[in-house]
Structure 1
Amino acid sequence: MKTIEEAELCFPQLLNSSCRKTMHPHSVSMLTYIILSSISLLTVALNLLVIISISHFKQLHTPTNLLLLSLAVSDFFVGFLMLFQIVLIEGCWLLGDFMCAVYNILNYIVTSASIGTMVLISADRYVAICDPLHYPTKVTQKRVQMCVSLCWMCSIFCHSLLLKDNLEQPGRYNSCFGECVIIIDYVAGLVDLFLSFIGPVTVIVVLYMRVFVVAVSQARAMRSHIVAVQFSVKVTAKKSEMKAATTLGVVVVVFLVCVCPYFCVALTGQDTMLNASSAAFVISLFYFNSCLNPVIYAFFYPWFRKSIKLIVTLKILEADSCDSNIL
């Protein structure tokens, strides 16, 4: 029989060096497990549908949708990483120091790639709305592929470099067995904060403010009675771009609301220290954003609803299904 003291330890066999569990009422723990597990499974499943839809159907192979694909991939990994967050509900990391370092580095990489993709989405909508005549020549499939690849490579390189000490000596900052802590020194933390949050968010806000101003001016022009027939045709052609800008604007706003608390926590410390257990709320809020993105697509994009129907009914397995008309 275990004593009460041993039952409260992450590793009962290590009485003098084990961390203590974070004790919660059984009902609270079960509710937390159910909620986080549900969000994790929904995030993985919904983003997998986005990935399959954009990858499979040729009509969806557009520069803008390629950016949505990149965002869905990062959101998919967020949903997968959330499973590790569930492990930390009781405050114990049971997967070893190396896996702790890998988990946190992947967290940083995915977060950075998501924000980088948001910047690219904002730039795409800026060009589409503010310079529509040159959009087809400026924003091509190859250029977007190159930008997305650079975004992911830079994220992987920068955070592998910033966190290499934690990866070379896993668990060096842990005070007891069962803890999962990584530390970035002050200067590196500031660089990461600027590159991963302050800089990108500033660019996103500035670009979307400009898009908003142009959208308002176009709406006024559409309501004007003194409009040439040629201009009316151009405005009609822009309606789809305006709708896309609105949808992606919602995605960006929701993203900022969910991710800002995560970085505000980083701003409060003298050293950027992330204890995965104590930061559960802000991390979970960031994870929840990844579940919301596909819901936003389903609400605004008819093509996503059509593609889900084809996927669920297994019609995508039919010959030439990739050429289906879903727009």
Structure 2
Amino acid sequence: MQTLEEAELCFPQLLNISCKKHIRPQSEAMFITIVLSSISLFTAALNLLVIISISHFRQLHTPTNILLLSLGVSDFLVGLLVTPFQIFLTKPCWLLGDLVCALYYLIPSITLSASVVNMVLISVDRYVAICDPLHYPTKITAKRVQICVFLCWGYSVFYSVLLFYDNLKQPGMYNSCYGECVINIIGTVDLIFSFIIPISAIIILYVRVFAVAVSQARAMRSHITAVTLKRSATVTAKKSEMKAARTLGVVVAVFLMCYCPYYCVSLSGYDFVIGSSAEVLMIFLIFFNSCLNPVIYAFFYPWFRKSVKLIVTLEILQPHSCEANIL
């Protein structure tokens, strides 16, 4: 029979080098598991609907929607891969080995970096659409956006591998005992490139976008009675772009609210205890953002609601369904 000391170890057979179990109250552990499992399921399912919608229906193959598709892919990976592994990290011991531990931190870094860069690209797209609408069709083309998305994911993979290079080269080198999952990165570098630079760019671009949007709205209201049919079409187009800017502004605002707490705490110099309730809560907010984006689309985009209806009723399996009018 195991002694009390052995029962408190992650690997009782490795008496001298095994970590002790960090046992949570059963109610807290069950609550965290249920919440993270639910978020994982809903995040993967909702973002899969976004991916299918934009990929299948040709009317949605616009530069802005290509960016939303890329964001949907990163959010889908968060639900499919990242959140389930977070459940393992909340357990008393890490039992999946040192290499899986390193990969556990690498995959979230790639997906979350891609999300951040996608948000910057979305901000640039709205900036050009609102601030330079006449040149938008020539500056922001589908092909250019596809190249930007490719570079976004390439950068995210390269940056993350570089950030975790030591941990991937020698997995487990920072563990103090068996049953631990600890990695070490240069926190200042990650803070600058994953938070300060991209968030500053997003805020600056959107402040400019909304300043121009407000001035355009006032101009349209003051001249609305004197527009010709041609100008009326231009006004309608501008209103459409502004509506898209407001919707994507909500996406960006929610993104900032979910990401800022974690990085602001890091910026303050406070060190999280890995696996602590505070760290779990901050990580939960970041992961929850991936679940919220499709919900925002459902509220603000009629095309998303129509496409979901066609997907759920399996009407997309019919011939030529990709040509359906959903705008």
1:234-280: per-residue Cα shift (whole Å, max 9, x none)?
A: 2222111111101100000100111112222433449xx87652332
Which residue is 1:67 aligned to? 67
Q: Is 2:106 aligned against 1:108?
A: no
Q: What residue identity is the alignment partner of 1:291?
A: C
Which residue is 2:91 aligned to? 90
Q: Distance in 2 between matches of 1:192 and 1:184?
A: 8
Q: Distance in 1 between matches of 2:217 and 2:192?
A: 35
User: Is there any run of 5+ residues in structure 1 with no aligned partner, and where?
Assistant: none
Which residue is 1:32 aligned to? 32
Q: Distance in 1 between matches of 2:221 and 2:255?
A: 32
Q: What residue identity is the alignment partner of 1:58?
A: R
Conserved 8 A contact 1:58-1:323: yes
- For the residue of structure 1 that corresponds to 2:183, the secondary structure is strand
Q: What residue identity is the alignment partner of 2:311?
A: I
1:118 positional shift: 0.2
1:88-142: per-residue Cα shift (whole Å, max 9, x none)?
A: 2224211110011011111111111110000000000011111111110000000
TM-score, normalised on structure 1?
0.93
1:202-230: per-residue Cα shift (whole Å, max 9, x none)?
A: 11001100011011112212322575314
Q: Distance in 2 between matches of 1:236 and 1:63?
A: 19
- For the residue of structure 2 that corresponds to 1:182, the secondary structure is coil
Which residue is 2:143 aligned to? 142
Give me the identity figure in percent: 68
Which residue is 2:19 aligned to? 19
1:68 positional shift: 0.2
Which residue is 1:169 aligned to? 170
1:59-97: per-residue Cα shift (whole Å, max 9, x none)?
A: 111100000001011111111210000112224211110
TM-score, normalised on structure 2?
0.93
Q: Distance in 1 between matches of 2:179 and 2:268?
A: 25
1:271-303: per-residue Cα shift (whole Å, max 9, x none)?
A: xx8765233221111000000000000110011
Q: Distance in 1 between matches of 2:156 and 2:272?
A: 19
1:5-39: per-residue Cα shift (whole Å, max 9, x none)?
A: 33333223323222223322222222221111001
Q: Distance in 2 between matches of 1:194 and 1:228?
A: 50
Q: Distance in 1 between matches of 2:2 and 2:245?
A: 60
Q: Distance in 2 between matches of 1:274 and 1:163?
A: 18
Q: Distance in 2 between matches of 1:299 and 1:3?
A: 57
1:282-326: per-residue Cα shift (whole Å, max 9, x none)?
A: 111100000000000011001111111111111111111111111
Q: Distance in 1 between matches of 2:157 and 2:10?
A: 32
The change in CA–CA distance for 1:131 and 1:284 in structure 2 (over 3 A counts) is same
Conserved 8 A contact 2:94-2:180: yes
1:152-171: per-residue Cα shift (whole Å, max 9, x none)?
A: 10111122122111001001
Number of paired residues?
A: 322
Q: Is 2:323 aligned against 1:318?
A: no
Q: What residue identity is the alignment partner of 1:245?
A: A
Which residue is 1:198 aligned to? 196
- For the residue of structure 2 that corresponds to 1:261, the secondary structure is helix
The change in CA–CA distance for 1:225 and 1:142 in structure 2 (over 3 A counts) is closer
Which residue is 2:48 aligned to? 48
Between stretches 132-141 and 211-220, larger displacement belongs to 211-220
Conserved 8 A contact 2:47-2:75: yes
Conserved 8 A contact 1:91-1:179: no
Q: Distance in 2 between matches of 1:318 and 1:92?
A: 49
Between stretches 223-232 and 89-98, larger displacement belongs to 223-232
Conserved 8 A contact 1:183-1:274: no
Q: Distance in 2 between matches of 1:12 and 1:261?
A: 38
Q: Distance in 1 between matches of 2:226 and 2:92?
A: 66
Between stretches 201-210 and 3-12, larger displacement belongs to 3-12
Which residue is 1:293 aligned to? 293
CA-based RMSD: 1.8
Q: Distance in 2 between matches of 1:276 and 1:122?
A: 33
Conserved 8 A contact 2:17-2:178: yes
Question: In structure 1, which of residues 211, 214, 237 is the aligned counterpart of residue 212 of structure 2?
Answer: 214
